[in-house]
Amino acid sequence: MKRLLSNLTVQVLIAIVLGVIVGLYFKPFAPTAQMISKIFISLITMLIPFIIFFTIVLGVAGMSDMKKVGRVGGKALLYFEIVTTFALIIGVTVANLVKPGAGFKATVAFDDAKLATYQKAASEMHWGDFITHIVPSNAMKAFADGDILQVLFFAILFGFGLSKMGDSGKVVIDLFDKISKVFFNIMHIVMKAAPIGAFGGMAYTISTYGIKTLQPLALLMASVYITMALFIFVVLNLVCRMYKFSLWQYLKHIKEEILIVLGTSSSEPALPAMMEKLEKFGCSKSVVGLVIPAGYSFNLDGTTIYLSMSVIFLAQVFNIPLSLGQELSIIGILMITSKGAAGVTGSGFIVLTSTLAAIKVIPVEGVAILLGVDRFMSEARAITNVIGNGVATIVIAKSEGEFSAPNPLKGE
């Protein structure tokens, strides 16, 4: 029993259950629970820029063929776009079949202040701004802000520069390797607090939003969760089989990270641990360092499913029939806008609002219907994103011959 309770997975599961109980019966605890959750997430996010930087620099500098860096990045982006498109199509198809918004009567109170914030953010969002945002005007500010895309860009350039030094750069590479291990050691220490963070996140969510909030939108919630399950166990499973590895073994390998994401409703706390887990799984450091951080901005499978279903749901709520052409246009716009909000807090609502503003078919005010239950769908989005990014990394590693594990998935 003692050995079982010392297992991190068991600890996080117990913490999530306790969080639900506390959230239901001790609602005044909500502010404290939120504080606990925020502290844990901050502990992780303070490490993310440095772990990404050192991992990418070491990976790029360690590649003797610089063309390989571009090839890996190109393959990753192509994979992201193909799989994300599948996610969007599945989301739209299920929403049209289930029709969760048909006959819906809005019983959820609108939060006008929040809605105005998202509308303002969406109106200020432009594709060109996203492109220019990738290049940091101040590299140190990118680290301070925890901007993954900017840190990624700077790290790739730094890695290229370091590789040009040849043997004289080996001293720097050895130093960075040691510093990288220090940050991963810190991460291991922080991860011991994962059950506390999961408890706080779950207690805050339940006590603030309440189980009853789900009732008016239960069908949409069920549709989103079922669609994401189908995406993981059908689409991603097929991808895994194509590249000859087991989805189940992979999921078992990252079970702690999945539970942490479930408890905190965020994929960021799992990022550093995912990078380490995928290296242990057999992917090379260079591929992990390039694909995982890029995936956090460009491979948001769960988010794209949620967005596509939400747009169709709102069209049904307002009784607005959409033609096939309009739905294809929505998919095209979502493919662009979902990238444009990468790394932005509350990006799901910003993207949804900007998409509705762009298509000018569905009232933008409809976003307010989803505000109350978004928190309950964020777990599914984040878990799907994390699983999808891990699969992408293994696929790219295998396609590059950078997967060296001694058949870790035998016995499928």
> Domain spans of the chain?
2-399
Higher pLDDT, 58 or 248: 248
Assign 325 a pLDDT band (cuts: 50, 70, 90).
confident
| Helices first, then strands: H and E counts in the chain | 22, 0
CA pair distance 207, 26, nearest whole angstrom: 7
**Among the listed residues 64, 61, 285, 51, the one whose alpha carbon sits nearest the alpha carbon of residue 160:** 61
pLDDT in tens, 337-357: 565 444 444 456 666 776 776
180 touches 55 (CB < 8 A): yes
Question: Mean pLDDT for the chain?
Answer: 79
CATH number of the 2-399 domain:
1.10.3860.10
pLDDT over 50 (residue 408): no
Please name the amino acid found at residue 163. Answer: S
Task: Give residue 387's pLDDT.
Answer: 94
pLDDT band at 411; cut points 50, 70, 90: very low
- The answer to whether the beta carbons of residues 278 and 393 sit under 8 Å apart is yes
CB-CB neighbours of 62 under 10 Å = 16
pTM: predicted TM-score of the whole model, two decimal places: 0.75
Residue 136 — φ and ψ, nearest 5°?
-75, 135
Give the separation between CA 174 and CA 180, rounded to whole angstroms. Answer: 10
DSSP state letter for 299: -
Tell me what the mean pLDDT of segment 387-396 comes to. Answer: 94
What pLDDT shows up at residue 234?
93
In contact, 33 and 203? CB cutoff 8 Å: yes
pLDDT above 60 (res 156): yes
Each residue of 212-260: pLDDT tens digit?
A: 656 667 888 888 899 999 999 999 999 999 999 999 999 999 998 898 8
| Helix, strand and coil percent figures for the chain, each rounded to 5 | 80, 0, 20
Tell me the per-residue pLDDT of 81-135, one tens digit each, with 9 for 90 and over. 889 888 888 888 888 888 888 866 654 444 555 556 545 554 554 555 556 777 8
For the segment 390-398, the average pLDDT, to the nearest whole number, is: 94
Q: Is the pLDDT of residue 18 over 60?
A: yes
Digit-coded pLDDT (tens) for 278-299: 999 999 888 888 888 888 777 7
